[in-house]
Amino acid sequence: MKVFLIAGEPSGDKLGAALMAGLKTVVPRVEFHGIGGPLMQAEGLDSLFPMEELSVMGLIEVLPRLRNLFKRRDEAAQAVLNLNPDALITIDSPDFCLRVAAKVREDRALPVIHYVAPSVWVWRAGRAAKMARYVDHVLALLPFEPPYMRAAGMTCDFVGHPVVAEPQPTPAQMEALRQELGIADGMRILAVLPGSRRGEVSRLAAPFGATLGLLNHNDLHVVVPTVAHVHDQVVGEVENWPFRATILDPHGHAPADAQARKRALFHMADAALAASGTVGLELAMAGCPSVIAYRMSPISSFIVKRMVKTKYVNLVNVLLQRAAVPEVLLENCTPQNIAAALRPILDDPAVAAAQRSDLMQAMTMLGTAEDEPGIRAARSVVAAVERLAP
């Protein structure tokens, strides 16, 4: 079996790696090609070009990079056609991935599987119908998504989210990381994550740093995990913070080890402040109470506010349909508002415990009681390929 996979950002890289591992288990012989990051490469993918070129977020922020993105789209589509795989599997990043699928479909009727259903319950409800022109089958992360996809004309399986299958750190691993980072006994830990994209770091690092200055907790040790392609940028931003922070550097560690260190930190942390995204689920799986914050450019914010139709952006809140995790977004994303949301979590054990209980409930809804999502996704892919084969 030959598959061509495309992931465009770190969260997609994690999904792709879990799917690849699942396919190795389900399919006797499978051959991987495509575009992915370090986790997918560790599973055997030779990436066509660096995945980081596709990691761009925002309606306005993408404009300066359109020319290169179109070039990479054409390059990816031609590589798919040259390979003629059993399936093209696109993973999230719909603005790029679905353009590749459309380009391929102009020439050939290959089976196309998209991993991560578009959040039509949030905004742009017509995306599912548009996607159905090029996509045959969808792997959904959330239990309520399949009916939306089937109504648009695609088959769809809920496969769960890989975050629920990630290995949990041992006490020895957490203690080793505490010693390595120089976290003294009695110090509480706050994990701060200003994003995995350069634009996110540029917009969020300064208000996150200013927030720390407002907290003024002498017993707080701040740790900032990074991913390799924004590490230097994060280091430069953190140097300007009014509060000393320790960087959790992924360099010098294999991708799986770097992920394990980050999971250990999340389990150790008393609280977290994070950019909106998949990291919110990683923190939830670790039982780490958190505040989710996000800023966009003024024009992007103006457009998004008029298009979004859901009350929440954090998936824990979406699943529970209530604000279990505080969200501080767009023009409300100020140091004062973020600090006001963090203080109760840091200062009141009852508030932190209540959020931990909510996080456990949301993780159960995501599939912690089922087979690993990577295996479920792999089985769904194989069944779809068999069904769609000419």
Taking CB atoms within 8 Å and a gap of at least 24, the contacts of 79-83 are 79/4, 79/33, 79/34, 79/48, 80/4, 80/104, 80/110, 81/107, 81/108, 83/2, 83/4, 83/33
Contact by Cβ (8 Å): 304, 313 = no
pLDDT in tens, 215-266: 977 889 999 999 888 999 999 999 999 888 999 999 999 988 999 999 999 9
What pLDDT, on a 0 to 100 scale, did the predictor assign at position 122? 55
Q: How many helices (H) and strands (E) does the chain have?
A: 16, 12
Q: What is the mean pLDDT of residues 371-380?
A: 93
Q: Is the pLDDT of residue 120 over 70?
A: no
**Distance from C-alpha of 135 to C-alpha of 89, rounded to nearest angstrom:** 9
**Phi, psi (5° rounding) for residue 271?**
-165, 170
Q: Is the pLDDT of residue 306 over 90?
A: no
- The mean of the pLDDT values for the chain is 90
Q: What is the mean pLDDT of residues 111-129?
A: 81
What pLDDT, on a 0 to 100 scale, did the predictor assign at position 144? 87
Least confident of 20-34, 91-105, 315-329, 366-380: 366-380
- Tracing tokens 């599997």 back to the chain, one arrives at 89
223 closest CA partner among 244, 246, 199, 243: 246
What pLDDT, on a 0 to 100 scale, did the predictor assign at position 357? 97
Q: What is the mean pLDDT of residues 53-65?
A: 60
Distances (CA, A) of 230 to 42, 52, 139, 166, 239: 20, 10, 29, 23, 14
**Distance from C-alpha of 224 to C-alpha of 275, rounded to nearest angstrom:** 12
Q: Model confidence at 166, in pLDDT bands (50, 70, 90)?
A: confident
What pLDDT, on a 0 to 100 scale, did the predictor assign at position 59? 47
pLDDT in tens, 179-192: 999 999 989 999 99
Distances (CA, A) of 343 to 198, 270, 347: 28, 12, 6
Contact by Cβ (8 Å): 364, 157 = no
What pLDDT, on a 0 to 100 scale, did the predictor assign at position 121? 61
* Cut 0.75: pTM above it: no
